[in-house]
Chains A and B, each alone.
Chain A
Amino acid sequence: MASVAEEDSGPVYDTGYDSALVERLRVGDRDALATLFEQYADRLYNHCFRRLGDYADAEDAVSTVFLTLWRHRRKAQVHDGSAAPWLFGIATNVCRNAERGRRRHLRVVAKAGSVGDLDGPDPAERVTDRLADEQRMRELLAQVRTLSRGEQDVLALVIWSGLSYVDAAAALDIPVGTVRSRLARARARLAGTEGAQR
């Protein structure tokens, strides 16, 4: 599991550097964009994978995240010197939309009666451990989907991606207290689900 930020002091990143990068990004410096990509692409990729349960979709989502942040670069924000909350906020929105689109697609495909053919991974993904990871992640997501959307967002950011409460609050544009309460509700709800399954 990613490092857990039970307290407000989450993982520490090189935040001062982000401030300068975001300043450059705001004025259209593409090198800053490239640097942010190199710095955050892996983390965002894994975050999106944990939201989507599919590595190929996660890759596409990362692409959209960087396209989106470039288009909205003038509104780029840093929180305590870190661009992570802003980036993870965009990623949360992108992945949420991607998930919604995929569900629509699967419904349409299911109606066409060929979901079995289309739901599989592409040839590049036919590697046993990756498939196993995707399967594992989808099982987790099936459990997590018993939570509200907001609770899922908080859980993914704080528990899985290791953001602090403060950063998760900034990413989701909600108060820190809401992060705490959502996480508490998620914990209680999952415990209840687990108990019911026993």
Chain B
Amino acid sequence: MNDFENLTPPPERPLTPAQRARLRLRLPRPDEEERGRPWLLPAAAAAAAVAVGVGGAVALARSVDENDGAQRNPGPAASGPAPTATTPAATVTASTDPCAEVTKGETISGAQAQLHAIVTQGPNSCLSSAPPASCAHEVRDQLPGATEVAGNATDGVSFWTSGQRWTLCFHDASVTTVHRVQTLDAPLVGEQRFAFSTDHGDTVAGHMPSTFVAGGPLGGGDSRISYTFPDGHVQEATYVTGSDGSRWWIVQYVARTGVLADPRTNWGQLAPVVARLWGTDVSAPEKTELPWGASGCNQVNHGC
């Protein structure tokens, strides 16, 4: 064993409270399978892709190891993504190198964009170590051919459309966040309409700033929208008009202190955010509760 002394790695480090908090937030939520996050399906395909790659590698490794002559030990490694390795999605994904397709100024097809979305989830991302890209770049991956129709430079929020499909992009110095793509002619309602993205900043002096963003097209009868957060903050929406005359609403809140900026917060136990929508009857807003797990991770180009 002394032969490995020169390979002594750095001492182990525990996860910091902020890291632990981020990871807890990323754990699967109770209704995830039923409702599904938009990136779960591609994530499954990505897992299958892992299996294909790993399966091949393992097969090669096994062939090399056959001379060992030892009894095979039924183990669990293949019990991860391996069972899905034969799905068509896995085959397609494994045979493509989506990262090679990410080139400035290049237009990518819908299928390529989908593949790119697959590999931009978490650690499998070919872009995971990159700094925040522009909205133009990130939106292109989720909604090819989209153009910016409205936005608020102060908030860093912009709306992008391609035909009847649209998405929201939020961009600041540390992150670019693209929301799940929706359609204008079949708008989502309730929780799905008001779902918001969550981005955590770096912990400074014990605080982990968290940015929450929501937005979408303003309905004909909508007169006002506000969000109430568990820390008591009420955020009124702002409204912008698109280049085509369309009206859009934006809710953005950056929590810098309190429970929403505390790395120790157990997000699963927080009270839901409450969205209020006023129509023509300004005395009776429609309330929608937004559970953190199901409605607080509306981004599709990175984790929560």
Q: Which of A72-104 contact B (CB under 8 A)?
A: 72, 75-77, 79, 85-86, 89-90, 92-98, 100-102, 104
**A66 engages B81 (CB within 8 Å):** no
- Give Cα distance in the complex from A56 to B78, angstroms: 26
B23 touches which one: A41, A76, A93, A117 (CB < 8 A)? A41
The answer to whether the Cβ of B205 comes within 8 Å of any Cβ in the partner chain is no
The answer to whether the Cβ of B283 comes within 8 Å of any Cβ in the partner chain is no
**A68 engages B81 (CB within 8 Å):** yes
Q: If A4-B1, A89-B80 touch, does A63 touch B122 (CB 8 Å cutoff)?
A: yes
Q: Which residues of the other chain, B, contact A61 by a CB distance below 8 angstroms?
A: 122-123
Q: Which residues of the other chain, A, contact B81 by a CB distance below 8 angstroms?
A: 68, 72, 93
Q: In the assembled complex, how far is the CB of residue B74 from the closest CB belonging to chain A, in whole angstroms?
A: 7
**A148 engages B75 (CB within 8 Å):** no
> Using an 8 Å CB-CB cutoff, how does the interface string of B5-43 with A read, 1 for contact, 0 for none?
111111111110001101110111010000000000001
Q: If A6-B1, A30-B30 touch, does A97 touch B124 (CB 8 Å cutoff)?
A: yes
- Give Cα distance in the complex from A123 to B209, angstroms: 14
**A64 engages B129 (CB within 8 Å):** no
**A89 engages B26 (CB within 8 Å):** no
A-B contact pairs, 16 of them (CB 8 A): A1-B9, A71-B28, A75-B79, A94-B50, A101-B128, A107-B100, A109-B130, A133-B13, A150-B57, A155-B4, A159-B1, A172-B58, A172-B77, A174-B61, A177-B68, A177-B70
Which residues of A are in contact with B by a Cβ distance under 8 Å? 1-2, 4, 6, 30, 33-34, 37, 41-42, 45-46, 49-50, 54-57, 59-64, 66-72, 75-77, 79, 85-86, 89-90, 92-98, 100-102, 104-105, 107-109, 112, 117-119, 122-124, 130, 132-133, 136-137, 140, 143-144, 148-150, 155, 159-160, 166, 169-178, 181-182, 187, 190-191, 194
Seed contacts A59-B15, A101-B126, A140-B9; 20 additional CB < 8 Å A-B pairs: A4-B1, A6-B1, A30-B28, A37-B24, A42-B15, A64-B123, A89-B79, A96-B53, A97-B54, A98-B123, A102-B126, A104-B99, A104-B126, A107-B100, A108-B103, A117-B131, A169-B73, A173-B78, A178-B70, A190-B7
Which residues of B are in contact with A by a Cβ distance under 8 Å? 1, 3-15, 19-20, 22-24, 26-28, 30, 43-44, 47, 49-51, 53-54, 57-58, 61-62, 64-65, 68-81, 83, 97, 99-100, 102-104, 119, 121-131, 174, 202-203, 303
